[in-house]
Amino acid sequence: MAVSPLNPEANPTMRRKRTLILSTVAVVAAATTAWFALPASAAAPTASLRTVSDWGTGWQGEVTIANSGATAMTSWKVEFDLPAGGKVGSFWDASMTAAGSHVTFTNRDWNGNVPVGAKVTFGFVGSGGKPANCKLNGAPCGGEAVSTTPATVAPSTGAPTVAPTTTAPVTAAPITPEEDETTAVPPAGTVLPVTVSNKTGRGDSVFLYVLGVNLTTGKLGYVNAAGAFTAWTGGGAVPVPAPDVAIPGPGNGASTTIKVPRNLSGRLYMSFGQKLDFRLTTDGLVQPAPWAGGDPNRDILFDWSEFTLNDSGLWLNSSQVDMFAVPHIVSVTGGSGAVSSTGELKPGGRQKVIDAVKASPDFAKSVVTRADGTVLRVLAPGKAADAGLMSPTYLDSYITSAWNAYTSKPLTVVPFTDQPSVRFTGRTSGNVMNFTDTTGKTVASFAKPSTANVWGCDGALAAPNDQVVGPIARTLCAALTRTTLGRLDTQPSGTAADFYQGNPANLYAKVIHENMVDGKAYAFAFDDVQNQESLVHDGDPRQAAITLTPF
């Protein structure tokens, strides 16, 4: 989750950037792709649909109904078909019904009247293919497609790279002098020195990669050790090998300092014993995905940290959203000389995580071991399920119980810690949870999510980049992942002692957090809800560090 430099309360779903930044550039094009562009008619109302954003595993859609007819509209109905596998998970400013692949939206009681010349808009988040065969009040939608500048979305891998969801993150105590071997604070500059220290005790060669998006130009590319950014070129319909852009890393007991330019958001990869295999397509860079069959990096020991560096500062985090592999501390030194750090495992923590996961029949297969006996990684549950290594319905019974709890009682969501008066009330009807604001207006609706939706904070729980649906979605996903939904009726709430106490629970996230010195980790996409994430930030960064710790 390379974190956004923006106010987290103003841009709640920045974690998607992590996915989009490095995966493909097709997403940017998709964000302005209209689904329908039929001739406009001045004699009747029209509807136009557009993709607001697309992060690969899901998309946000918007419909604008324009009354270009001769009389006022008193109600409206928009319907369309989705291709096989497509579905709508959450929606707002409309009511929805679905019959198979056919989806119908109708007005709420407060937005059905559309005067001549006026417009009304509603939105939704879906997955799979995009809509077709649009109709407005039984007639073809018509209308010209509306283009838009794509929203800057930030991850997990799906989804999205990510801003904290609450107030400024709590950082661990300053790292000790032996962890921060530089005593003088460098002057501010256009590049930030990042020192990678190898304290693993391993004899493998280490290779580093700095990959990301230039926030000024929007280009994907790589950075050399001196901090020069180069955009990727080439690529083909069939992925071709990317240029070798590896930076020699430190041997055991040594350190290597590289430079990262400002206005870059991306990842710093580190691999052991072998270089990573990156590929280029016409759409962009194909990143390592060792949970996927046939990925050439499956037998390589590697990991990454994520970052955003711009004029507002540095956000740097370790990430376990996809996998738990190489333990490392991330830290930043500010202009005052103050150092913040996080991500440090307790002594023997890596092995304790591995042992706990191996001991669970449900999770054991997510531990990936190389032929030579090296444990390469523990896959996050969503990735393990995708790879057929654990049940894809593992959380279903808990999700149903938690969802149905709110048929008979209200759920209160207060997503912003600095705005306690902003709150939403949820009640479940059938499989849909509807949320109202303090005036009683229905502002968001969510279909009951699947286990995969919870693991990925996607699909029915995808979070659009707004101030209502996105904050509610991320709160729901965090509560479901931590098994507090159904038990704690105000969300977010509780402490770490309340998390992962349900049954079944996310053992992966539980044991990773338990084995962190400060309890902080990015064990799922919205682990930043209630500041549980392993993130450091400084508005005036002078140097940063990644310390690879013993394992």
pTM: 0.80
Q: Which residues contact 288 (CB under 8 A, 6 or more apart)?
A: 269, 276, 277, 278, 295, 297, 300, 302
Average pLDDT over residues 503-516: 97
SS (H, E, C) 118-186: CEEEEEEEEECCCCEEEEECCEECCCCCCCCCCCCCCCCCCCCCCCCCCCCCCCECCCCCCCCCCCCCC
Alpha-carbon distance of 522 to 331, in angstroms, equals 15
State the catalytic residues: 306, 322
Where exactly are the structural domains of the chain?
Answer: 32-140, 191-390+514-548, 396-503
Q: In CATH, what is the architecture of 396-503?
A: 2-Layer Sandwich (3.30)
Mean pLDDT of the chain: 86
* 132-136, strands of its sheet edge to edge: 95-99, 102-106, 77-81, 132-136, 139-140
Q: Looking at residue 30, what is its pLDDT? A: 31
Q: Looking at residue 43, what is its pLDDT? A: 62
pLDDT at 148 over 50: no
Q: Which residues contact 510 (CB under 8 A, 6 or more apart)?
A: 499, 500
Q: Distance of alpha carbon 197 from its chain centroid, rounded? A: 28
Q: Looking at residue 184, what is its pLDDT? A: 72
pLDDT at 160 over 60: no
Q: Which residues contact 494 (CB under 8 A, 6 or more apart)?
A: 482, 484, 488
Which stretch of DSSP H or E encloses residue 339?
A: strand 339-342
Q: Looking at residue 482, what is its pLDDT? A: 98
Q: Looking at residue 58, what is its pLDDT? A: 85
Average pLDDT over residues 88-114: 93
Q: In CATH, what is the architecture of 191-390+514-548?
A: Sandwich (2.60)
Q: In this predicted model, what pLDDT tens digit does every residue of 354-378 receive, in sequence order? A: 999 999 999 999 999 999 999 999 9
- Contact by Cβ (8 Å): 247, 273: no
Q: What tokens were used for 366?
A: 């997510």
State which amino acid sits at residue 243: P
State which amino acid sits at residue 435: F
pLDDT at 203 over 90: yes
What's the half-sphere exposure (Cβ side, CA atoms, 13 Å) at 133?
11
Average pLDDT over residues 173-177: 38
- Candidates 124, 120, 103; CA nearest to 46 is 120
Pick the CATH number of 32-140 from 1.10.357.10, 2.60.40.290, 1.10.3720.10, 3.40.50.300: 2.60.40.290
Pairing of strands 220-223, 229-231: antiparallel
